[in-house]
Structure 1
Amino acid sequence: MGSLEKAGAQSIGVCYGMLGNNLPPAREVVDLYKSQNIQRMRIYGPDQAVLEALRGSNIELIVGVPNEELRDMATNPSYAHTWLDRHIRPYWPAVRFKYIAVGNEVIPGPNAQYILNALQNMYNALDRAGFDQIKISTAIHMGVLEKPSYPPSQGSFSAEAAQHLNSIIHFINSRRAPLLANVYTYFSYVDNPRDIALPYALFTSPSVVVYDGSLQYQNLFDAMVDTLHSAVEKVVGSNMEIVISESGWPSAGGFAATIGNAQTYNANLIRHVGRGTPKRPGKPIETYIFALFNENEKQPPGIERNFGLFYPSKQAVYNINFTP
């Protein structure tokens, strides 16, 4: 494996969703991460059993502030201090907290109004507690973009999203933290299979598909990430990093959701992210695959329950190699 592929494997984490009634205990899950050489984890809320199991594991962690807590965190500064005292302080530094994701995919929407104040209150609490190594951000989805955002250099945020997102990006960037973004070529493909070829979505296109000035795009993932880069640059310039906090492909339950496609996408994603994008070549992209398990309580049924790399039995849905 070449150095770029090694960088890709080292840039990869896996999201540990827990919307299932048949999932293994947290300690077994952490052991699974170790056995697969998965060095980064994202969880969507501060689960005590997971945090206990992560002690001393050396796995870097994104922990989420659940969307239902955003209003309290935004309107009551002491809420952030209490949150840290309860969920971070007992485990630090034995657990390697890397980012706190304040909200997931709430922009645009009714909870978007709370993100900036919640981020500010969390930052002040982190600073006061001496946890300033931990970065704070929020996770967005591709719905924040103006339609159409094509080609990638034309990427910009919709007016509805920008109303809150521009000030949020300024704040996150001022704290030298990355913006978290959930990027799925699967959904772009199934929404428009007439104009988007499956190989372009799976990293298997044999030639360049999109020309954007001097930049050439052979896969949809790069095009989507660089569209976000362009939108962010219009707000704060080119020095802000984007971390891909979710990406993946379902193996069952809907159109183009096959084990073969899911294996192809995720294996190629791992190999690819060490190379950067045409806009930012050679700069590895920190990326988290969604998800570790098929989760039988995710809604709606169908593809949402089939993004896992593993069945709840810990048997692999398909073979993926995380070892550089």
Structure 2
Amino acid sequence: MDKVFNTPLAHLLGALLVLLAPIFLQGVEGTIGVNYGTVADDLPPPVQVASFLRDSTFIRRVRLFDANPEILKAFARTGISVTVNVPNDLIPQLTMLSFAQQWVEINVLPYVPATNIVRILVGNEVISTANKLLIVSLVPAMETLQAALVEKSLDRHIRISTPHFLGILSNSSPPSTGKFRPGYDIHVLKPLLEFLRATNSPFMINPYPFFDSSDNTLDYALFRPNPGVFDETTQLTYTNMLDAQLDAVFSALKLLDFEDIEIVIAETGWPSRGDPGQAGVDTGIAAEYNKKLIQHVMSGIGTPLMPNRTFETYIFALFNEDLKPGPTCERNFGLFKPDMTPVYDIGIVHPRVANAAANTDHSHTNSRTNLLLLLLVCLMCF
């Protein structure tokens, strides 16, 4: 077998595959992003992270959880699309135009257009906080921030949205019964959706099959072969949990006559490590979920209720974050270690980078082998 794979033809085919890989994976650049969290004390400098993503991966979309100036500067002239986040506690203040103008002056204007800021998220999972002040302030804050962007002629390039936990749904199974929680549907979500439609902005959600899976539903959550879940109303069968979650959201949007709004996956992922005895948590399973996730959302197959679509998707997360509270899994959603080597391979690193690393390892192995042979020959001479 070694002789077969060591022919000039084999080398030529290998070179062609390396050259063609970017063509096969170019959809990743438009579709797949990553959440860049920083709740850790061992992360590399942002300028190294930005260069690494630009030069070594197919990732061209990054979501931040704040508007960190060091990170925004680091992504200047990389061409990577950046989403920034307004913290939840600033939402009530953001309803005042003067504050919104100041926020834009400080957190956006100094960095554009060098840094490609394309979206501002107002809060994160605000409705799920059950904080009445935050919830009633959410849409007014988005509208006021929009006015501040219009004033600076930034509204054509930067869109405003807010991500939601799937707990905003009162029903989700089967997917055709999906609907928003009573009270929030008319008084909060309908005005929010009207804003999104008027500004051509997406409805953003954080679906995590991991948190809804069990030993019995692991195959369903991981896109593995399984019996599927049948929706009697639509006569459609669901073969993976993510599709069911997306279609439940679509059904809720349709119930309010907003099925035309684009759905973006703001967060999803799978941890590579958990607490002792926790089932379905290891490096192999995390790699399996994220690799199949990328294939699925890029495939153009869509979902049973939304066929022939791709979904802009942000994987959680870029790095493991060692200072996050909670169970072990919360600190182990990262795709990369602090030294920027992959925790596992899901095909987002450029082949030339992976090959260079492999060739370096191979070269080191050959050098050690040659040295041992030389020593052996010398000993034989004596």
**Residues 161, 300 of structure 1: alpha-carbon distance in 2 compared, 3 angstrom cutoff:** farther
Aligned to 1:298: 324
Residue pair 1:73, 1:118 contacting (<8 A) in 2 also: yes
Supply the AA of the counterpart residue of 1:41: V
What is the number of equivalent residue pairs in this alignment?
318
Q: CA RMSD in A?
A: 2.0
Q: Which residue does 1:112 correspond to in 2? A: 135
In 1: Cα distance, 2:140 partner to 2:223 partner: 39
Farther-moved stretch of structure 1 (121-130 vs 106-115): 106-115
Range with bigger deviation, 210-219 or 172-181: 210-219
Q: Is residue 96 from structure 1 mapped to residue 119 from structure 2 by the alignment?
A: no
Aligned residue number for residue 279 of structure 1: 305
Which protein is bigger by CA-based radius of gyration? 2
Structure whose residues are more often helix by fraction? 2
CA distance in 1, matches of 2:67, 2:238: 38
SS of residue matched to 1:85: helix
CA distance in 1, matches of 2:259, 2:24: 23
AA at the equivalent of 2:282? T
* Distance of aligned partners of 1:269 and 1:5 in 2 relative to their CA distance in 1, 3 Å threshold: farther
Alignment map for 1:75-86 (pairs within 5 Å): 76-86=96-106
Match of 2:36 in 1: 16
Provide Cα deviations, 1:125-149, integer angstroms capped at 9, x if missing partner.
Answer: 1111100121101110101000x42
The question of whether the paired residues in 2 share the 8 Å contact of 1:60 and 1:97 is answered with yes
1:42 aligns with 2:63: yes
Partner SS state of residue 167, structure 1: helix
Matching of residues 174-323 of structure 1 within 5 Å: 174-190=198-214, 193-194=215-216, 197-206=217-226, 208-212=228-232, 213-254=234-275, 255=278, 256-274=280-298, 275=300, 276-322=302-348
Distance in structure 2 (CA, Å) of the matches to 1:65 and 1:237: 25
Shift of 1:303: 1.0
Query: What displacement does 1:269 show?
Result: 0.6
**Alpha carbons 1:215, 1:278 under 8 Å: kept:** yes
> In structure 1, what is the equivalent of residue 147 of structure 2?
124
Moved over 4 A (4+): 1-6
Shift of 1:27: 0.6
Unaligned runs of 5+ in 1: none
CA distance in 2 between counterparts of 1:235 and 1:122 reads 25
- Alpha-carbon distance between aligned partners in 2 of 1:271 and 1:207, rounded to the nearest angstrom: 21
Which residue type is aligned with residue 324 of structure 2? Answer: K
TM-score of the superposition, structure 2-length normalised? Answer: 0.79
Same amino acid, percent of matched pairs: 36
Return the offset for 1:209. 3.3
Q: Could you say if the C-alpha distance between residues 5 and 281 of structure 1 is closer, same or farther in structure 2, counting changes exceeding 3 Å?
A: farther
Matched, 1:161 2:184: yes
